[in-house]
Structure 1
């Protein structure tokens, strides 16, 4: 059930749009004086819809609730919904549920009569329309519910990279900044459990990488190499005028976070590298790259269904499915909404072409940043790489999650947040130093 909007909140445009095929035109006022039009305006037999709107505006200030009777003849339905006036609340009936309209927007709605049908046919059609519409609303809520910019009617925020690619981002909270970088099968919304938790004491930023909507999807394969993705993270800091931030990355995002630390360590306060290192093993590298190229081709041929089938059920994600089927279903559904071309180019040119961590061994050994490495004990593809980083970075700590796979922040959000919170507190206090040489086995 959709929650009613209070007098202090502006309902997102898509959530206020009436059922397609039932309502007519609903102009919506947004802050700043702009007018957005949802749905299609159509003329009712016997009059012009503009005349109906004019009549609607002339309706007395007293607002009455009008319930649409879906079981009676459609011509008995009221033709106009009373206009909202300042300080009053108008409600619109959708399948037996009242929905509030924003009292500050002075909305008005005209109702188009339905085509005369038998009651049984009309009821079936309306139920089918309702199911489709509510699925659209559910998708809209999942993708946009956390967007304070969209909810307030503000233009969606984008950061522009040096090669003119626009990256969608969201931020919440105040304090020392944390930049979250998502994995291949995620996007900006996959960090929602961490955004909600850490924004209580930090300025948290999450963004969708290039190729992941609502960020832009470049057409050229050359725009998806690891240097471009690394520089995108730096562009986010530049856009928000942040000198340095804590970097928290998962898988693909962890690799990019490490590359930023190697390239410009002054922009990084600390590193959290979770599920990093797929394709690390030298004996498996060529097979891994060949599989990435093959999967990219499948994404382009099969679209979103192939993404969920190939990338959504890899061995490292099975522990998530086993322990939390409901959470995995949300993750799987979100993965099915990815842009197939963007996913294919990312898989082919980033996942399947990036250098393995072993090629950066000397540079990694010189890192002095506080570093937390997280890995699931059932994420076989990343365990060796995590141990390698622990051995090379003197200021690193390793956390291995029991009975866990690759998607650590969603699979074990409480454990992930607790480990990260303690690490950030010690790093900010200057208490996360290098390993004592006396603890190293001779």
Structure 2
């Protein structure tokens, strides 16, 4: 696996396959490049180049004590793009990766980005405040952080079925669920907590309003990790010219349970 060095000396791992038009995949909180195993082969077969990043504290990258704020993470994305001299990018961002994508565009512009895809995104602003009445109570997030610090494996295991919305008929094997939990636990415990608090409390409304590239927004209506009313339905209103799709039976893990539908929707958007 290749590495590159960020501005603050952190070694980040990435994967790079294919030679066509580039798709840069930004993973969810506590997941890494492995999460895209149902997307990468599909897009390679259709002639695209697939680039994936292990953000700091995740996967095979360094685990520094700093840099988990969204500005630094967005700059890490920029450093990868510059390192590989990528242009005409389709930026595909899942969950917390959506905040990195939006902040990257706000800080670095869209000269290198042709289009944006937001999957199950944490945008635009999750925390309940006086001027954000559709947000979620901060006490709930702090309770989750307390549980993560007490028994991190149990916290992920308890939420695995909801992640896939298996109660709506989405078939996932016990082995697949176990594999996902192992991926979640591979992230640094420190990074897990730091990013959890940061992504919940970061206001991206101004970032979203400034997006001008063609954008596709997809979210599962049964998402328990990032409720759709607090996230993508609001993001779509801030981007009235975006393409917006809801998957009625999908949870947060739609990149797995609805991979066939998702891949087809992504390909159609990229080709359009």
Contact 2:103 2:207 in 1 (8 A): no
Contact 1:292 1:351 in 2 (8 A): no
TM-score normalised by the chain length of structure 1: 0.54
Match 1:330 to one of 168, 176, 181:
176
Corresponding residue of 1:291:
143
Corresponding residue of 1:383:
228
Match 1:346 to one of 191, 207, 214:
191
| Alpha-carbon offset, residue 324 of structure 1 | 2.0
Q: 1:296 to 1:343 in 2, by over 3 A?
A: farther
Q: 1:382 to 1:268 in 2, by over 3 A?
A: farther
Task: String of CA shifts for 1:241-295, please: whole Å, max 9, x gaps.
Answer: 2134111011111221122122222232211111112872515241243134314
Contact 2:156 2:184 in 1 (8 A): no
Q: 1:291 to 1:256 in 2, by over 3 A?
A: farther
Unaligned runs of 5+ in 1: 1-155, 427-442
**Number of residue pairs aligned between Structure 1 and Structure 2:** 259
| Alpha-carbon offset, residue 316 of structure 1 | 4.2
Q: Does 1:238 align with 2:82?
A: yes
Q: Does 1:261 align with 2:113?
A: no
Local SS of the residue matching 2:146: helix
- Cα distance in 2 for partners of 1:338, 1:403 equals 23
Local SS of the residue matching 2:219: strand
Corresponding residue of 1:162:
7
TM-score normalised by the chain length of structure 2: 0.85
Q: 1:185 to 1:375 in 2, by over 3 A?
A: same
- Cα distance in 2 for partners of 1:164, 1:339 equals 25
Local SS of the residue matching 1:400: strand
- Cα distance in 2 for partners of 1:223, 1:332 equals 29
- Cα distance in 2 for partners of 1:337, 1:195 equals 17
Q: Residues 393-412 of structure 1: matches in 2 within 5 Å?
A: 393-412=239-258
Contact 2:31 2:183 in 1 (8 A): no
Contact 2:141 2:200 in 1 (8 A): no
- Cα distance in 2 for partners of 1:174, 1:320 equals 37
| Alpha-carbon offset, residue 320 of structure 1 | 4.6
User: Cα RMSD (Å) of the superposition?
Assistant: 2.4
Q: 1:346 to 1:291 in 2, by over 3 A?
A: farther
- Cα distance in 2 for partners of 1:252, 1:211 equals 14
Q: 1:337 to 1:375 in 2, by over 3 A?
A: closer
- Cα distance in 1 for partners of 2:166, 2:80 equals 30
Q: Residues 210-221 of structure 1: matches in 2 within 5 Å?
A: 210-218=56-64, 220=65
- Cα distance in 1 for partners of 2:117, 2:36 equals 14
| Alpha-carbon offset, residue 312 of structure 1 | 4.2
- Cα distance in 2 for partners of 1:383, 1:295 equals 23
- Structure 1 runs of 4+ aligned residues shifted over 3 Å read 337-340, 354-357
Task: String of CA shifts for 1:3-27, please: whole Å, max 9, x gaps.
Answer: xxxxxxxxxxxxxxxxxxxxxxxxx
| Alpha-carbon offset, residue 338 of structure 1 | 5.2
Unaligned runs of 5+ in 2: 129-134
Q: Does 1:366 align with 2:218?
A: no
- Cα distance in 2 for partners of 1:347, 1:242 equals 29
Q: Residues 25-424 of structure 1: matches in 2 within 5 Å?
A: 156-200=1-45, 201-218=47-64, 220=65, 222-264=66-108, 265-277=110-122, 280=126, 282=128, 284-298=136-150, 302=151, 306-307=152-153, 309-314=154-159, 316-320=162-166, 323-326=170-173, 329-336=175-182, 342-354=187-199, 356=201, 359-380=203-224, 381-384=226-229, 385-424=231-270
- Cα distance in 2 for partners of 1:253, 1:240 equals 19
Question: Larger RCO: Structure 1 or Structure 2 (Cα < 8 Å, ≥ 6 residues apart)?
Answer: 2
Contact 1:175 1:202 in 2 (8 A): yes
| Alpha-carbon offset, residue 228 of structure 1 | 1.9
Contact 1:173 1:202 in 2 (8 A): yes
